[in-house]
Amino acid sequence: QSVLTQPPSASGTPGQTVTISCSGSNSNIGSNTVNWYQQLPGTAPKLLIYRNNQRPSGVPERFSGSKSGTSASLAISGLQSEDEAHYYCAAWDDSLRGVFGSGTKVTVL
Amino acid sequence: VQLLESGGGLVRPGESLRLSCAASGFSFSDYYMNWFRQAPGKGLEWVAYISNGGNTIYYADSVRGRFTVSRDNARKSLFLQMNALRAEDTAVFYCASAGGGIEAAGPVGVDVWGQGTTVTVSS
């Protein structure tokens, strides 16, 4: 069972906005930064968002992250077919371990 | 900027395996490194963290006491010695780093990933 809680699935039609939540606790999200990873089938994960809301170079602006208290969220606006993937939130926990969400599969209808 | 894992394979329960991760294209000695894994059909799991100098190391509870992470900055290489392997260790193992230019992303904030190496533990 994952330490961070994500919905197992989310979906939307092309052009819509999809939001994925990630719920944790004071010892992880509440006191450390949140990162989001995208994983396409059969490939290594890719960093989408780091330090709660920062995009690495090359990540489109339609991906955005936010954090409030012990929860974080990833929004994908202007949904595109190539956004079909699994999305994972991750954070450091004060018990000196990395923690992940169980992942959210995004489907473009 | 690249990471390349090697050393995966098929082993029996109780046996050992040593994974390697070769870095290129960035200043390896400046960055912390992590090992992650993904069991078949499952999500991502953090395995181990090692600081840039190698003097700070953390492990997931599931591998502590069985796995040992180390690095050789002169050879730009990361290692994971895995002993007493179990069936539940079967996974694709990834090494990852923040060597792609991000800053202050936290210990599990990594923007460079290897392609993964598969470890299968089965009798």
Q: Which chain A positions have a beta carbon within 8 Å of B33's beta carbon?
A: none
Compare all CA atoms of chain A with the CA of B57 and give the residue at the minimum distance: A96
DSSP SS3 for B95: strand
How far is Cα A60 from Cα A58, in angstroms, rounded to an integer?
Answer: 6
- Mutation for testing the A interface, residue in B1, B35, B111 having most A CBs under 10 Å: B111
Per-residue pLDDT, B56 = 96
Would you call B105 and A102 a contact, using CB atoms and an 8 Å cutoff? no
Compare all CA atoms of chain A with the CA of B47 and give the residue at the minimum distance: A98
Q: What is the pLDDT of residues A49-107, one digit of tens each?
A: 999 999 999 999 999 999 999 999 999 999 999 999 999 999 999 999 999 999 999 99
Answer yes or no: are the C-beta atoms of A3 and A56 closer than 8 Å.
Answer: no
Mean pLDDT of A34-61: 96
Would you call A45 and B114 a contact, using CB atoms and an 8 Å cutoff? no
Q: What is the pLDDT of residues B13-47, one digit of tens each?
A: 999 999 999 999 999 999 999 999 999 999 999 99
Q: Which of residues 19-78 of B touch A (CB under 8 A)?
A: 34, 36, 43-46, 49, 58-61
Would you call B44 and A54 a contact, using CB atoms and an 8 Å cutoff? no
Per-residue pLDDT, B100 = 84
Per-residue pLDDT, A75 = 98
Q: What is the pLDDT of residues B68-109, one digit of tens each?
A: 999 999 999 999 999 999 999 999 999 999 988 888 888 999
How far is Cα A14 from Cα A80, in angstroms, rounded to an integer?
Answer: 5
Helix (H), strand (E), coil (C) string for chain A = CCCEECCCEEEECCCCCEEEEEECCCCCCCCCCEEEEEECCCCCCEEEEECCCECCCCCCCCEEEEEECCEEEEEECCCCHHHCEEEEEEEEECCCEEEEECCEEEEEC
Mean pLDDT of A27-42: 96
Compare all CA atoms of chain B with the CA of A96 and give the residue at the minimum distance: B58
Per-residue pLDDT, A37 = 98
